[in-house]
Amino acid sequence: MTIQNENFFKIIRAGINTTFQDLGRKNLYHIGIPFSGAMDNRNYLISNKLVNNNLDSPVLEFAYQGPLLKYYGDKIVISITGDVNFEIKKSSKTFIGNCYESYIIEDQDEINILSTKKSVYGYFSVGAQFDLEFYWGSCSTNTKAKIGSNDGNKLIDGQKIKLKKTNDDLTKKNLDYINSSIEKIRVLKGTNYDYFSEKGKKSFFEKEFLVSKLTDRMGMRLEGATIENIFDTNIKSEGLVKGVIQITSDGNPIIMLSDHGTIGGYPKIGVVISADYDKLVQLFPGSKIKFQEIELSDAETLFKMYEMETQKLISQI
């Protein structure tokens, strides 16, 4: 449909950390640019499918409290995924929305994303193309490096988000899905596993850790038992990947997340398996977790199962 009038959202309240995200950027670690992209990949893909978008379309990711948006323009489909409280206001009627269900909104409607429940991230997708700039093939916003759409910044109160092209297909869709959370995070031994004392290794796999408040898109800091290092609390700086668990000089674990520094100098005790990543990022501060050691072949099998389940969910929409 060619748009006669301008279609846009007015951001009445931006929320805590609302950014544009997609699948992220590849092949830039060597110059220090991280992967970025939606933290919870499965919920990102599902949110696009619910509004008949290509699966790699940009969406709005929010953390804890989401935005309050007012819409101006032609009818479009929207959806919200994750574990989120939200309301939709149509003329004078306000109703509570359900995640994993798409809604048709029209001129002057408001969407109020109040909060995530027992999780951190949620996704807001629209059956349209956001009018965005792409850098290195991605719209993903990295607010620390000021890279990506919206000049590398999170959304602010009062700003406008324009839409370029709206989807013709206004079919409403839904998915029967509940976000489960996990308490056991499965990990593979890291390349510096032997830097730690027997007691330290034992504490790492047996003690409970608390997700601290110092957690964002770059990393998740944990509190609990300190892990004793018997070799060196620094290594010569080297590359990192998503999910690496470093032990800092003070003995506490920090897990690398999607906007992580590409190089680091703390010893790596373990790496979270790919299949558990989506669930890991959704653990909010104060959550209790335990690490469980598994083997590489099991991690690969678990990823295949995770991937099959994701594809199955998408095909059900």
Partner 1 sequence: MIKNILNLGDAALYCDFGDDVNKEINSTVIKYFQTLKNEKIEGINNLTPSYNKLIISFDLKKTNFKKMCKIIENISINEKDSLSSNRIEIPVCCEENFSLDISRLEKKLKLGRDKIFDNFFSKEYFCYMTGFIAGMPFVGDLHNNLRAERLETPRVKVPKGSIGITEQFANVYTFESPGGWNIIGNTPKKIFNNKKELQPNLINPGDIIIFKNIDLKEYNDYSE
| Residue 28: CB minimum distance to partner 1, A | 7
Extract the tokens encoding 117. 């429940």
Q: How distant, in Å, are the alpha carbons of 63, 110, 126, 183, 219 from that of 83?
A: 11, 20, 18, 17, 21
Q: Which is nearer to partner 1, 69 or 244 (CB)?
A: 244
Q: Would you say 281 and 120 are in contact if contact means Cβ atoms under 8 Å apart?
A: yes
Q: How many residues does the chain have?
A: 317
Q: Which is nearer to partner 1, 243 or 253 (CB)?
A: 243
What DSSP assignment string belongs to 170-188? ----B--------SEEEEE
C-alpha span between 47 and 313 (Å, rounded): 11
| Residue 128: CB minimum distance to partner 1, A | 26
Coil, helix or strand for 13? strand
Q: Which is nearer to partner 1, 168 or 250 (CB)?
A: 250
Phi, psi of 275 (to 5 degrees): -65, -25
Q: Which is nearer to partner 1, 97 or 190 (CB)?
A: 190
| Residue 97: CB minimum distance to partner 1, A | 32
| Residue 109: CB minimum distance to partner 1, A | 35
Positions touching partner 1 (CB under 8 A) are 26-33, 35, 135-136, 144-147, 152, 188, 190-191, 234, 236-241, 243-244, 249, 261-264, 268, 271-274, 296, 299-300, 303, 307
Q: CB within 8 A of 72, min separation 6: which ones? A: 6, 7, 8, 9, 10, 107, 108
Q: Which is nearer to partner 1, 151 or 168 (CB)?
A: 151
| Residue 265: CB minimum distance to partner 1, A | 8
